[in-house]
Chain A
Amino acid sequence: EAEVAQSPRYKITEKSQAVAFWCDPISGHATLYWYRQILGQGPELLVQFQDESVVDDSQLPKDRFSAERLKGVDSTLKIQPAELGDSAMYLCASSFDSYEQYFGPGTRLTVT
């Protein structure tokens, strides 16, 4: 069964350092989502792509976060510089349409 791949699964970094996460969606899924999930809360959408175009990045802290999906397939989310408050689970999801989203295993980020 096709799955959304994410790497790394775990990342520990010091504040002020740069960190990047990678996501490979299910083949054929045009829509890709990055969510941030703070411990004890539900996921919050950071950015949504339709193919290679950003359709929603209203909740993305653009002073430090960036996301790209250059060829409309895999995607990278970057944080520079990382802050203590960025410690969270970063989830990637993809969907064929806007119906069911398939989630990857997530990247758990700890900023020290």
Chain B
Amino acid sequence: AQKITQTQPGMFVQEKEAVTLDCTYDTSDPSYGLFWYKQPSSGEMIFLIYQGSYDQQNATEGRYSLNFQKARKSANLVISASQLGDSAMYFCAMREGRDGGFKTIFGAGTRLFVKA
């Protein structure tokens, strides 16, 4: 079964507008973390934002915010005021505990295209 599901293979957004990238997850671990990474065409993975399962407030980092809906197991990324440089692949990931350690699982990604 998919642990991380990103249902949008591709998304288009007009420059300066906001966009939401969807992510749902599946875990029975009460303690987990959710991440979003950006991967430009150059290939490196860039950390954007983190949300812990016990965090009461939604995480925010500049133009990025994470819409965390725990009951729905949803962790959508919201990018406000999109810029041309935001065009990239975006990956949702979950860290969950196992055997005393942690493992991070990535979704399949969403490719975002920002239009001028």
Contacts and interface: CB of A to CB of B under 8 A. Distances in A.
Our verdict on whether A and B bind, yes or no, reads yes
Interface of A: 33, 40-45, 48, 50, 55-56, 89, 91, 93, 98-106, 108
Interface stretch (B39-47, B67-75, B78-86): B39-47
Interface residues of B, number: 23
A40 B37 CA distance: 15
Nearest to B92: A42
A56 B101 contact: yes
Contacts, number: 52
Interface of B: 4, 33, 35, 37, 42-47, 50, 91, 93, 95, 101-109
B31 to A, nearest CB: 11
Contacts of B103: 45, 48, 56
Contacts of A89: 43
Nearest to B47: A100
